A and B are shown apart, each in its own frame.
Chain A
Amino acid sequence: MDYSFTKDEELFRETVKEFCQKNIAPVWVEIDKKRQIPADLYKKMGEQGLFAIPVSAEYGGPGGNMVLASIAIEEIAYADPSVAVAVYALLCNGWPMLLQTYGTEAAKKEILPHVAKGEGFFGIATTESHTGSDLASHKVTAAKDGKGWVLNGEKMYISGVGETSQLPWGGGFWATARTGTMQEGHRALTAYALLGKKDGKMLAGYEPTVLEEIGRGGLTTGGFTLKNYRMDDKYRCGEVNQGFYLTMEGFNLARTVVAAACIGAARWGLDQAADWFKQRKSFGRYISNFEGVSFKFAELYAKLEAAKYFVYKTAWLADKVYMEKDPRFNPRDLNIPASMAKMYGPEVATEIFRETMKWYGAYAYSTECPLYRAYLGCFSYEIGAEGAQNIMRYIIARDVVGQEYVRW
């Protein structure tokens, strides 16, 4: 057993940290207030190799892996604890990796280089307005149309809708659509690389809307309506009616980097607490002299360390499965680790921010203090972005106890 990072990983963390502290940390509050990531930041991050990290050079990626992607996302979130920039980056790492694994050659060569350069977005679009977690009840349809497909319906609460429209090349989503009857449930879903805009032009039949969220203000969330949206068969990912299973693999990857974002933000939060302890006095002594404060701090530190282990163990395993094709492992082996990372990371992060805000006292309840911005950003993942927390618990319980004893 070797718990150390490789020399490449250590140097990468050092350089990402420098990049993020120089280019992101000074502007993260402004990004959150203005609700916009600066246009030149996408390009700089692309040049730095922070998007599509696990994607090979053949498709324009840096040729890294999931451990490197997790390191990048952790450091980005440390620099922007509202996690807006980190969420953009994590989506543009996890889902491009899945497209690399299951997309057609033509789709990969068309989309992935633009994502890697920061001129195109590629995220996830499964949720519909009536439900997120229950994919079996999703209604967006895809029907055969000659050699291609025609899609109709509406997706909702989708991150990156605004960025897809704003970025110079455009972008889109790993999306699922029904290619059978409702009664067939999750067995009749097919996955597609669905573009909203490409080569700078919005595509016909794709109509986006943007919602205003309470946190992670720099990144847009919204929805889109598909009205006779036509696409070539080259955008289909995997076999017809296999979309649910492939998408679950993608969620395992995305949940790993979601947790990486949460531990990065949470690490920043604990650093704020430690700094505060060195200046804040009550009753003639530093507040960390009170056991009610320092014992809780120690608990949170331990929880954060545990959350880190979940992230990097899962990322390591994902690399064994997808990058090294190690025959000892298969994609299903990621179900429990990725669910533990996603279940634990956001909950630890929000707990750290709640406690730190209490230690800060009244100042933390003013908008002058940025801690609430970080809390609201991480809370999006406790609500359930990238998979509801109780779904994570279901996955763990079903895999451990057995599906016949833990039914959906």
Chain B
Amino acid sequence: MPDIVVCIKQSIDIEQLKFDPSTRAPILAGAPKKMGEMDKRAVEEALRIKGRMGGSVIALTIGGAEVEDVMRRAYAMGVDEGYLVTGPELGSLDSSTKIKVLTAAIKKMPHFDLVLCGAASSDFFSWQVGPGLAALLGVPVITSAKKLDIQGDELVVECDLEKGTYTLKTKMPAVVTTTLDINEPRVPSLMAVLGASKKKAKVLTLEEIKMAPAKPLVQVSSIYMPEVKRKKVIFDCSEAAKLEEAMNRLIDALRKEEVME
């Protein structure tokens, strides 16, 4: 019966994110936020494991005032307990600081067998939190899982890495990061939403987890939308005789752009 900690984040909803057309910078102030898509899969996977094997699911998040919203969603999905590490200084942290804070919070918990995280957040996509957590917790990590099974005290994880799909095994405790392919997360019902509001997460301060606000290792100097320049290349296949040549030229061009091998 594994005890699972799921790290979740209230991410900027990039589908609704607007950009300043003159600077191409995202308009972050007041941007709508919601639980990251890979995080939802991590919660769903934890709940499915609990459904099969029992145990417990604890959701953990850090950040400013908005983190209560992401915890509300986690409760509506069905997690047993929620832990918030919150404070105004935690509103915008770099990945390294987040990893340190999350590690300190997990160490405050009585026991864990498995830590699940989305492989990357839905907004900044650093892909660092899962591996960083494993390093600081001193446990193995398997990243980008698309299938997860527990056999005894061993994790069997199918994951997409670089140029192939691998099946990897490790003993618990461990950290696993989830991709979008691992499952289809549940959408909480109205009853679950209303029930979630009655649950209150445990709030941890930096003092309680013995963390001093750390200096970020990464400074974000600017963020902007990449400019998409269309090349507007036309391959003439207006006549049947030109079709084969046009196709060959198209394939060459795509290879040159490294779109296909």
Please report A residues at the B interface, Cβ cutoff 8 Å.
Answer: 7-8, 10-12, 14-16, 18-19, 22, 47-50, 53, 62-64, 68, 72
Contact = CB atoms under 8 A, between A and B. Distances in A.
B193 A8 contact: yes
B64 interface: no
A57 to B, nearest CB: 8
A72 B187 CA distance: 14
Contacts of A63: 191, 194
A8 B197 contact: yes
B189 A11 contact: no
Interface stretch (B68-76, B81-89, B161-169): B68-76
Given A8-B197, A62-B189, 20 more contacts: A7-B72, A8-B194, A10-B69, A11-B69, A11-B196, A12-B190, A14-B73, A15-B76, A15-B187, A15-B189, A15-B193, A16-B190, A18-B187, A19-B187, A47-B189, A48-B189, A49-B190, A53-B190, A62-B191, A63-B191
A11 B73 contact: yes
B187 A48 contact: yes
From B34, B68, B72, B194, name the one whose CB has the most chain A CB atoms within 10 angstroms. B194
Q: Is the interface of B mostly helix, strand, loop or mixed?
A: helix
Contacts of B193: 8, 11-12, 15
B188 interface: yes
Interface of B: 34, 68-69, 72-73, 76, 187-191, 193-194, 196-197
Contacts of A48: 187, 189-190
Contacts of A8: 193-194, 197
B32 to A, nearest CB: 9
Contact of B191 (A11, A18, A22, A49): A49
From B34, B72, B190, B193, name the one whose CB has the most chain A CB atoms within 10 angstroms. B190
Contact of B34 (A14, A19, A47): A14
Contacts of A72: 190
Contact of A68 (B72, B73, B188, B190): B190
Nearest to A53: B190
A8 B197 CA distance: 7
Contacts of B187: 15, 18-19, 22, 48
A72 B191 CA distance: 13
B34 to A, nearest CB: 6
A22 B186 CA distance: 11
From B72, B73, B188, name the one whose CB has the most chain A CB atoms within 10 angstroms. B188
Contact of A62 (B194, B196, B197): B194
Nearest to A65: B194
Contacts of A14: 34, 73
A15 B194 contact: no
A105 B190 CA distance: 24
Nearest to B196: A11
A386 to B, nearest CB: 23
A49 B192 CA distance: 9
A54 to B, nearest CB: 11
A50 B191 CA distance: 10
Nearest to B73: A11
A354 B68 CA distance: 43
Given A7-B197, A8-B193, A8-B194, A15 B188 contact: yes
22 contacts: A7-B68, A7-B69, A7-B197, A8-B193, A8-B194, A8-B197, A11-B69, A11-B73, A14-B73, A15-B76, A15-B187, A15-B190, A19-B187, A47-B189, A48-B187, A49-B190, A49-B191, A50-B190, A62-B191, A63-B191, A64-B194, A68-B190
A58 B120 CA distance: 43
From A49, A50, A72, name the one whose CB has the most chain B CB atoms within 10 angstroms. A49
Nearest to A69: B190
A7 B34 CA distance: 12
B192 to A, nearest CB: 8
